[in-house]
Structure 1
């Protein structure tokens, strides 16, 4: 039998509750549309009490983004075991789990939301990108990446971010398809760089060495080989310059 007496929360517990409530609301609607009154009502406390724990909506918003950024960065963590393609696909699935669950919050984090241009928000975004960058290098077992690899990995992390933001606007491509495509995009970026750099060629060879035919990277190679004859035949008809 309940007494109806509300349990009094400690300071940190209440702060964490407010952050969680705010994040839930920001994940459902744009943070610009969420008021302090709504946050207070959802938390079961008064508006003045919200201000007792946070000086304003901006500070509460940044605290919610801090939690979201930590969660998103953790989505890149994956044991360095098994074929690389399968690992990257699991990372992308967890990444899109977050995007799917926290659409407006994800957009707010990556686009800045009401805190656009703020040093705090920009630093959080950079932390997420850096976490993704470092995790991918760990999967490739590279401590001191060559310049081209560093460029590829950072470009791919940005590509995943921009792809997710575009996908949220209508979700016109099946999510599972997009997750696999992003894994293929990473392999393609690496392969193009390998054409220009012997060190990248060795890295790509290592990526494919233990990749099963039915794995994400094996599937990509098979599909490219299937379309290669059709793609190359028009090139074969292009007149070649005569020597001399």
Structure 2
């Protein structure tokens, strides 16, 4: 008869396990409400052993945020094939997958949680925003964005963040509609900017030239045209 022997984890393996356990707990409850004792119990180790790997809850929280931030940044990666509207829809789908799966954790990442105002947390948030910004520029085929284009893209990223945070409070709008609306918001921001700047107008014409009539941006145009009689009256 043989008895099972629990395998001893290496230092880095144990650290990664604790980060995963903490992130899972933070994903379902506010980090402020999760104690070190709960993290230790979920990991199957003692409280003192948690402190052996992390000096305190804040350091473990920041490590979990790092993993979450890396995951979220990757959600904006998308092959640069096909119409832009369809690509952005897929990006928004993955973005809201993350928001849906990690609600309290996403809120903590964007709002700071127990580490609000810390340089580490702020740097992580900035990294996610910059990764999204670079990805969107790549989809637009632009390497040296104008001031107006930078304003459009960064404003849209901020809008996506705030929209997701509001949606988490009750989920009162169907998620699919919200994803489509955010893609339409991007087109609307670009269109308003194009009305003031010929370089933006040229970029918008290039984008729309690659869009099918029944695509995401075509749907927006159809909705706006349907509103035109109301606006005129």
TM-score range relative to shorter protein: over 0.9
What is the Cα deviation at residue 229 of structure 1? 2.1
Cα RMSD of the aligned pairs, angstroms, is: 1.0
Superposed CA offset, 1:106-165 (max 9, x none): 000000000000000000000001111110000000000011000000000000000000
Match of 1:96 in 2: 96
How many matched pairs? 233
Match of 1:226 in 2: 226
Match of 2:49 in 1: 49
Match of 1:237 in 2: none
- Give 4+ residue runs of structure 1 displaced > 3 Å after superposition: none
Q: Which runs of 5+ in 2 are unaligned?
A: none
What is the 5 A alignment of 1:187-206? 187-206=187-206
1:11 matched to 2:26? no
What is the 5 A alignment of 1:1-244? 3-232=3-232, 234=233
What is the Cα deviation at residue 8 of structure 1? 0.7
Q: Normalising by the residue count of structure 1, what TM-score does the alignment of the two structures yield?
A: 0.94
What is the Cα deviation at residue 214 of structure 1? 1.6
Distance 2:112 2:10 in 1: 31
What is the Cα deviation at residue 210 of structure 1? 1.1
Distance 2:53 2:174 in 1: 42
Q: Which runs of 5+ in 1 are unaligned?
A: 235-244
Match of 1:239 in 2: none
Distance 1:6 1:156 in 2: 50
Q: Normalising by the residue count of structure 2, what TM-score does the alignment of the two structures yield?
A: 0.98
What is the Cα deviation at residue 2 of structure 1? 7.3
